[in-house]
Amino acid sequence: MNVTWKSPSNIALIKYWGKYGRQLPRNASLSITLDEAHTITSVTTEKKRTKKASCSLLFEGKPNPVFEAKVQDFLRSIQKDFPFLGSQHLLIETSNSFPHSAGIASSASAMSALALCLCSLDILHGGKLPEDFFRKASNYARLGSGSAARSVYPEFSVWGKTNLVPLSSNQYALASPVHYHANFNDIQDTILLVSRSEKSVSSRAGHALMDKHPMARIRYRNAVVRLEKLLSVLTTGDWSAFASIVEAEALELHALMMTSDPSYILMTPNTLDIIQRIRDFRERTQLPVCFTLDAGPNVHVLYPYYEKRKVRNFIQKELLPLCQDNQALYDHMGRGPIQIFE
């Protein structure tokens, strides 16, 4: 048996930062699913004698023992839910559309692609048809990497229990809960590669530092307030309100890192220079454009499709020179994962 899924990365507008239990979020988050930044994963099953879940993995066509061990541990941790893992060895081939050292988090696309493959294979091996295939895939993607839960849906996705979204859960994400305004059709996301070096502090360590963070309570409250505002702004189409919520979230994420114990800083001088230039450009031109940040120095520039030409001109002239090797990835809101049939 063989299945292949292509699954995208996503960028959070309302951030998930702080967790408990097994990858359960302290607050609900909301993201845009991307398109160009994606992982394609193909899994073939082979009958075996041993009972423990096992896999061999090729990353970008080459063996990758570190990644393989991580995936094997993950498979063993969920083996009781996927009985076929006890009789089949998995041959996994996975590759990303973006270069490994680009500083783009690959875990969301990689873990969602793998979870989708496992859910498809489960059905092929006689498992029960789930009530909601994508919800199930989202749950297992989350166990691999929290933010991956949101990658299985198109456009906007919400993950985490909130009274604002019926059926929302800490276990899985849901597709866009609102009918968003046409101003947000095909949002553009240019990812400025400010630094391609390895992060000094991992997301896992960053989440853990939230456990004793003096500002944790207020942070989780802020996330609820901003999610409520953002859900409403998505329906009204107000880019200026969108920009202020999204930028506040990005800066709060980094403020939490800076005020953790121990403190750390992932932004670089060029990150700040870019942020200031985006704000100056917005002020000067009144164009709808804003930024968000992941847990790293790279800047995501967000703008509507209908202002693509003007904003890209600005990016090319003013922002690319501040990126490592003048590099950026031009991405946009995507339609979610697709299964590939050979």
d(CA 157, CA 177) in angstroms, rounded, equals 8
247-276 mask for ligand PMV (x: CB under 6 A)? Answer: ------x-----------------------
CB of 327 to ligand PMV, least distance (A): 20
Among 6, 15, 38, 300, binds ligand PMV (CB under 6 A): 15
Single out the segment in contact with ligand PMV by CB under 6 A; choices: 9-17, 64-72, 167-175, 193-201: 9-17
| 294 contacts ligand PMV (rule: CB under 6 A) | yes
Total binding residues toward ligand PMV, as defined by CB under 6 A: 15
What three-state secondary structure class fits 94? strand
Q: Pairing between strand 54-59 and 88-96?
A: parallel
Amino acid at site 305: Y
Among 3, 295, 315, 328, binds ligand PMV (CB under 6 A): 295
What beta strand segments (E) does the chain contain? 2-14, 19-20, 24-25, 29-47, 54-59, 62-63, 88-96, 156-159, 173-175, 188-192, 290-293, 299-303, 328-332, 338-340
Q: Which is nearer to ligand PMV, 71 or 121 (CB)?
A: 71
Q: Is 335 exposed, middle or buried (0-12, 13-18, 19+ CB in 10 A)?
A: exposed
Interface with ligand PMV in residues 124-163 (CB under 6 A): 145-147
30 and 233 Cβ atoms separated by less than 8 Å:
no
Interface with ligand PMV in residues 17-76 (CB under 6 A): 17, 29
Q: Which is nearer to ligand PMV, 105 or 194 (CB)?
A: 105
> CB neighbours (10 Å) of residue 69?
12
158-197 mask for ligand PMV (x: CB under 6 A)? Answer: ----------------------------------------
CB of 60 to ligand PMV, least distance (A): 21
Q: Pairing between strand 29-47 and 156-159?
A: antiparallel
Burial readout 15-27 (b: 16 or more C-beta within 10 A, e: otherwise): bbbbbeeebebbb
Interface positions with ligand PMV (CB under 6 A): 12, 15-17, 29, 105, 107, 145-147, 203, 207, 253, 294-295
